[in-house]
Structures are given as C-alpha cells and as structure tokens.
Chain A
Amino acid sequence: MADLDTQIQEARAAIDAHVADIVHWHFSPETGCSFWLDWARDAGWDPAVEVKCLDDLLAKFPNFQDEWLRDKQPEVWVPKAFLGKPFNIFETGGTTGMPKQRIGWNDYKVDYSEFSDTLDDAAFPRDHYWLMVGPTGPRRLRLSIEHLANVRGCSCYFVDLDPRWVKRLIKEKQFDQAKAYMEHVVDQATTIMKNRSVSALFTTPKLLESIAERYENEGSSLYDAGVRGVFCGGTTMDPQYTRFLCEELLENKIGFVPTYGNTLMGLAKHKPLTTEDKYSITYYAPQPRALMRVLNPETGAPVGYGEWGRVELTTLTKEFFMPRFLERDEAIRREPIEQYPWDGVAEVRPFGALTKKIVEGVY
C-alpha cells in the first residue's frame, strides 16, 4: 500500500508540474492561442502567473463552455507555436446541428501509441489486420484506430456508421429504418471479415452484438471468424452488459478492451477486469495529458469513492487546453490503482440515465 501511496504522490506531483507547464504555454503570448489569450484579458487575471498546480486550475477556472467549440472558428484555437502547420479538424459524436470541433496535430498519435503498449499481443496480434466498424467521418477515432493498427505493424479496414443519422431516426421513431441501417452496416462489416483476414475489431457494443448475432445465426461465431481481440467504446456498458459481451458473444476466448473517451479528452484506458470487479469497468484518464473527476452535480465537489456523480474532463496538452468540461455522463468514482495511480471513473452512463430517457442508438 505504501508503494501505491508513493505512486499516487508522484502522479500528483507530475500533474501539478504538467498543469503549470501547460497553462503557462497556453496563456503566454509567445506560445498561446488567441482564444485563451483573449479570455484571460477579459477575465482580468493571468493564469500563466497564477496557476501553479492542479488545485489552482480547479479553483480558478470556470467550466469550459462547449458552445465555444461550436461558435468559434478553428483558427482561434491554434497555439502560436503551431502557426502555419495545417491541422486536423475533429468533430464530436452523435449530435445534430453545428457540431463541436476540436483541432489537433499529434495528440491522437500520442494517446493511441501509449494505448497500444497496454494491449495484449495474444488478443491483438502485431502485424495483423484490424477492422473498425463505427463512426468514422470527421471523428478523431477514425485516424486513431488507423494509427493504432499502424503502430502495431499493420493496417485497418473501415466500415462507417453515421451516429447522427441513427439518432435522428430513433428520435423520429423510424425504428425500421434504424434497424435497416444497422443491418446495412453489419452486412458491410461481415463482408470484409469473410473476405479478408481480420483479428482485431474496433466497434460499439451494439454493433458487436449484431455482428456476433449474424455469425451465430450462420452457425459460426466471432472466434470462428478469426477475431481474437475486441476494442469497444461508445455507449454504456454496465456490469451485466459487459458480462454478457464477455461470456456470450466473446465466449471468454476473445480479448475485450473497453475504453472511454472522446474527441475532446482522448482515450481513457480500463483496469483489466478481475473476478472481484464483477464486470464493473473502471476507466483511467491518460494523466497527465487529461484528467477526469466525478463531481456532485449540485455542489460541484468531488463525490466520495464508490459514489455516483457527473464526469468532468480536463485536457492538458500543448495542442489543446480544456479546463473543467462537464461531460454529459455520470459515473462512480473509483480509487487509484498501481497501474494508474489516480482516480478512475466506473460504470459510465449518460447523465441522468435513471431519471430520463436517453437516445444512445447503435452508437
């Protein structure tokens, strides 16, 4: 336990130093972007001087407004140090109307290269093909998965799913159309899988169910189809659902790597499941590049370990600074572990899932 305490202190020191460094970067005229420099001028205080550690950041910055990512042109987010370098424009998931946009250069490669190091080679063999079945288009995820396949020595096939269209169909109660679209996506995925050699699959839980069902209806299985590892993300995976995926679809023979993340924060990795976890998945942010907290929605204070609260994200890279963004998710706060000696978030689900109907669709 002493070792873990030491690790926790070291991680805390690392993020304190990183916060000071990143805030100084974004709020210095030599390196920062116009948005944050203007913001500091209007706010009447200088974060570059006043923020020396994580507590300073959490105390002094208000919640990041996602409208800024909809309303502002992308150039305002370009740090001066990146001026003249063409950037990627990434959009967030399944919204309608003007989407939130985040620009970037290299962050996704850093995230996914680091993530690759956590993958088991038996489940995700190096030098072998991946298939991504999910939202591609303007999303960071598409390039990320391709990079992941590349750093592991091979390439990736893609089948697109447009979550905005699915959400619209569901909201308009066009369930037959939504089902037909799902079938269309599954058709394409299984066609690739039957005609090409694929061992690693990235997809959403619902699509994983449908792809598995297609194989099983044909008397086969995902394992028989050659799949050895599944990297999954996108919607709620409560313990029962996770157990269902592992036991029934993956037959406890296929590696399962659930992840939590988005275009704004990056990729949170999961604590490898043990029997004691009872299929409750805990995710850990890629600290110090990003931070996740679980807060009481009424008071804004962190909830106790084991308690539910709203997820708050903070992104801290030289490409992008996003302090205290309140995500539309809720989760259980979990203790640090040796592998990730900082707080985790568990059993993530849409904020208010118990009190209102949330459209998640197939995404």
Chain B
Amino acid sequence: MINIPVLRWGVPYESLETDEVIHHRTGEVLASVGQANPGLLARDMRKAARAREVLREIPIKDLIEMMKKAGDLYLNATLPLGDGEQTPDDFARQQSASTGLPEHMCKFNMEKNHFVLNHMDQIFDALTRGLDLEILQRGFGVEERGVPVSYQAQSPVLGMVLPSNSPGVHTLWMPVIPMQIGLVLKPGPQEPWTPYRMFAAFTEAGVPKEAIGIYPGGGDMGAETVSRCGRVMIFGSTQTVKNYSGNEQVQVHGPGYSKILLGDDVVDQWEDYLDLMADSIYKNSGRGCINCSGVWASRHTDEIAEALAEKVGPYEVKDPTDPEAGLAAFTVPGQAEAIWGMIEEGCKESGTTHVTEKHGARLEQMERCDYIRPTILHCDSPDLKMANTEYMFPFTSVVKCPQEKMIEKISGTLVASAITNDETWAAQLTDATNIDRLNIGAMPTIALNWLQPHEGSIVDFLFNARAYQTPDERLQRLCAQ
C-alpha cells in the first residue's frame, strides 16, 4: 500500500486523516490518501500568486517543451508516488482497480494524455487560435495584423474539482501550466492516480513544484476549492450545471447527452452506419460525455434499435485485466442498482421498450462492485422520459422523431453527429445553440479533434481579452525585448 500525502504547493503534508483507495474486486487497499481540511487550502491560497510568479519566470515555449518531456515521463517512466514508486503498468493497474475501468482502457487514456502533452505546441496554437506566445506571456503585444491586443489572466491558479469515474477528463487541465497559471487539484476519491503522476512527471520535467497543489478530501474540500479559486472547473450532474449557471468563475462540465442524428436523406441506408453507432455507444466503456446516448431518426427506429441490441447486447462482463473487457464496473455501492431502477421505471412508460432484454439480464451484481451490460431502448416519441437520458455505461435510446423537430427536441447536446447530405438541415444544425460540438457527416461522436477546443475554450475562461493602449514607442520597445 502506498501512502499519498496532501501536496501544499508541491510540499508533502502528512495529514492525520486518510482515506483508503480500494480495489473494486478484491477489496485490496491500494493507497492511503491524506485528506486535506478546507482550512489548509484557505491558508495556502494566500500564496497562490506565487504559483503564477514561478511559472512566469519560465518562457511559455520552455514550459511547452517541459510538457512534452512530462508526457514521455508520464507514459514511460517509473515515477515517485507518495512513499513509493509507480511504473506505467502500476498506474494502469491501480487506476483500473479503483475506478472500475478495464486496464487496456486505462492504458489507452495514458496514450491520449501523452498525445495531448506531446502535441502541446499544436494544441496551444489551436486553443489560442494562433496567438503569439510572447503576447500571452507579456500580457500584451501586437498581432501580426498590426493591432495591439492584451490578455489578462483572471486568476493565478485554476482549481479543478475532479471526478472519480472518468480518467479521460484530465486532458482538460493539461494546457494550464504552459499558460503560466498554477493548479489546485482536488482529486476524485477513487482517482488520485492521474493528478499525482502528472505532478511527478511535470516536476521531473522542470515545472516548479510550487505551481501545483493537490488537496484530496471530501465534499467540503470541493466546495472550498470552488470558493477559493478565482477560476474553477468542476464536473457534475445537470443540477450542478444549473447551480453554477451564470457564475463566470466556474466552468461546469456536466452530462453530454451526445447523439447521432440520422437525416431523412440517409436514414433508409441506416445499416451502413451501424458500426459507427455501436462504436459511439460502446467504446471506452460508454462512460464518457462524448459517448452516444441517443440515436434519433424519423423512421426505421425499431429496426435500428433491434440491430444495435443485436450488436452490443450480448457483450459480457469480463475481468478488468482482460484485453477484451469492454465494460467498466460501478464501484460506488448501490449506484448501478439505483440506475437500473431508474431505467426499469422509465420503461414502464407506454412507447418505451427495452430492446436488449432478450440478450439476458443487464444488471450484474458482485461482492464489491456492479456492472450494467449495454442497454438499448426504443422510444417512439421524443417526448418520452427515456428519450433524452444519459448514464455512465453503454446506454442509448433510439428515438423516433421527425427531422424537422429534432433540433428542438434533442435539447442540450455536447456532441451531435448529424449524418446527412442535406445542406439546408446542416445549416440549421450549425446555427443550433443547443449543440456544442457538431459533426456533419458519418463521424462517431467519440471522434475528437484535439486541435479544436472542447466545451468552451480554456483560454477564454482563464484570460480576458481586453483593450490595451499605450504609445507606439513604448509598445514597440517592450515587444522588441
């Protein structure tokens, strides 16, 4: 068992209160994680400005190089972790054991994180839309077109209240350090692994440890992170999203409700897109916000639902170490049972059919964890309760809805893959403000282009673009330095 301390601006602090991270199948204690009391963060935030100061002493281009090196270390090196060490294989095994995600998916996530770190220059260029790094570093400068611009950091640190159930979200905070903004990380109780391994990789690559604090703890620690950091990213339910609506200090990442929309012009050839639909539902355990939770079409929906059920319904629960394992365990006691209860309740509504029923029981309960096998419902109206639902396993409702009503009825949608050649409809989809990421054409919802911002640009969140006027002579002198 590894003892993992609180990190107060990089300095280990042995808390007297600890929380055990448990293997979801064997019950083995994987780590004992020191718990921070909120007062620690309150005090440490008085030194938050220092986190940005130490980063500003390093040019952004050098920090970007450090990120590339850190990516390699994260993927390949044995790194310190608490009072022990961690190999890359240890990391994947530990992450799988505590989150329930199959090991090969944890390794895939490592590759993804490595990709982001290793392509930080390109990602940075995409996020800043080609901004000269010197301008971000200095806070002002002159764009290529000759116009003075200024970017003002809104907080010396970004607070991250991280989830336990989705290791994929960590890519969101990786560009923050090269933006010369410090990090205050509150890990999810079951996923301390990525924040600590990233800290080890970052600092070994040259990032000053004073730029990062890691404060594990309970709900009160999350609330303290939100209240103390000038900019915070949190992950939560639809209710959480509503709670922080309009709060410019908080960026909330909620459920995705991502969907595939089949246009009337292609729906008769729906079989051509079956693999694409199944991949969008099932890949990476169906747990992500970009996994498809709804397939919408105006006709053939019964057949589509049957075919999807035939394809994904038979998938079995496999050991998390099995390279073929496709399902992630629910490691929070009672969670899977509660979710399945909601689905059963929803299926009682007339017009809603559980199509995977014939492929055996969906809920599989084990001693310390549970699984829900892939589940496909059919809804013969977009107004049914289950027509717009998302759960953290491969789950999709195939919804019958006229094309002309789809944009209105799908509500908030993180990723919409609209398969159509109808340019009129495509234009309407492009204008739809309830769709965040839009794919037009035969593209799975899970296909991410890392060079395009995800759910709101981190640059816009952390920096304020503002007017900045000064005599030309001063501007040119300072920009020439």
Interface, chain A (partner B; CB < 8 A): 209, 213, 216-217, 238-241, 243-244, 248-249, 278-279
Contact = CB atoms under 8 A, between A and B. Distances in A.
Nearest to B43: A248
Interface in B204-254: none
B1 interface: no
B164 interface: no
B46 A239 contact: no
12 contacts: A209-B39, A216-B43, A238-B17, A239-B17, A240-B15, A244-B37, A244-B39, A248-B40, A248-B43, A249-B39, A278-B16, A279-B16
B46 A248 contact: no
Nearest to A249: B39
B37 A240 contact: yes
A279 B43 CA distance: 20
Contacts of A279: 16
Contacts of A243: 16
B35 interface: yes
B46 A216 contact: yes
A244 B41 CA distance: 11
Contacts of A240: 15-17, 35, 37
What are the 6 tightest A-B residue pairs by CB atom distance, in nearest-first order?
A240-B17, A240-B16, A239-B16, A241-B37, A240-B15, A209-B39
B478 interface: no
Contacts of B15: 240
Given A240-B35, A241-B37, A244-B37, A209 B17 contact: no
Contacts, number: 28
B217 to A, nearest CB: 10
Nearest to B17: A240
A91 to B, nearest CB: 28
A244 B39 CA distance: 8
A217 B16 contact: no
Contacts of A244: 37, 39-40
A264 B369 CA distance: 45
Contacts of B77: none
B452 to A, nearest CB: 36
Nearest to A357: B219
B258 to A, nearest CB: 30
Given A239-B16, A240-B15, A243-B16, A209 B40 contact: no
A169 to B, nearest CB: 15
Contacts of B39: 209, 241, 244, 248-249
B42 interface: yes
A278 B40 CA distance: 18
Nearest to A238: B17
Nearest to B35: A240
Interface residues of B, number: 10
A182 to B, nearest CB: 12
Contacts of B37: 240-241, 244
B16 A209 contact: no
Nearest to A206: B39
B429 to A, nearest CB: 37
B46 A217 contact: yes
Interface in B1-58: 15-17, 35, 37, 39-40, 42-43, 46
Contacts of A217: 46
Nearest to B34: A240
A209 B41 CA distance: 12
A212 to B, nearest CB: 9
A57 B40 CA distance: 46
Given A239-B17, A240-B17, A278-B16, A209 B46 contact: no
Nearest to B6: A240
Q: Which of B37, B39, B40, B43 has the most CB of A within 10 A?
A: B39
Given A239-B16, A240-B15, A279-B16, A209 B35 contact: no
Given A240-B35, A241-B37, A213 B42 contact: yes
A55 B40 CA distance: 46
Most buried by B among A216, A240, A243, A244: A240
Contacts of A248: 39-40, 43
A240 B38 CA distance: 11
A278 B43 CA distance: 22
Nearest to A243: B16
Most buried by A among B16, B40, B46: B16
A213 B43 CA distance: 8
Contacts of A278: 16
A249 B40 CA distance: 10
A244 to B, nearest CB: 5
Contacts of B17: 238-240
Given A213-B43, A239-B16, A244-B37, 16 more contacts: A209-B39, A213-B42, A216-B43, A217-B46, A238-B16, A238-B17, A240-B15, A240-B17, A241-B37, A241-B39, A244-B40, A248-B40, A248-B43, A249-B39, A278-B16, A279-B16
Nearest to B243: A173
A91 B326 CA distance: 60
A279 B16 CA distance: 9
Contacts of A209: 39, 42
Contacts of B35: 240
A216 B47 CA distance: 12
Nearest to B18: A240
A67 B351 CA distance: 52
Interface string B116-154: 000000000000000000000000000000000000000
A241 B42 CA distance: 13
Interface string B152-175: 000000000000000000000000
A238 B220 CA distance: 14
Nearest to B219: A357
A114 to B, nearest CB: 31
Interface string B405-432: 0000000000000000000000000000
B35 to A, nearest CB: 7
A60 B141 CA distance: 84
B48 to A, nearest CB: 13
A279 B122 CA distance: 51
A238 B36 CA distance: 12
A249 B35 CA distance: 18
Nearest to A208: B39
Contacts of B40: 244, 248
A240 B221 CA distance: 14
Nearest to A173: B243
Contacts of A239: 16-17
B212 to A, nearest CB: 20
A202 B448 CA distance: 57
A243 B43 CA distance: 14
Contacts of B16: 238-240, 243, 278-279
Nearest to A205: B39
A74 B252 CA distance: 53
A278 B16 CA distance: 8
Interface string B441-472: 00000000000000000000000000000000
Contacts of A249: 39
Between B35, B42, B46, the greatest number of chain A beta carbons within 10 A of the residue's beta carbon is seen for B42
A194 to B, nearest CB: 20
B163 to A, nearest CB: 19
Nearest to A213: B42
A186 to B, nearest CB: 13
A184 to B, nearest CB: 18
A8 to B, nearest CB: 29
A113 B452 CA distance: 71
A172 to B, nearest CB: 14
Contacts of A213: 42-43
B220 to A, nearest CB: 10
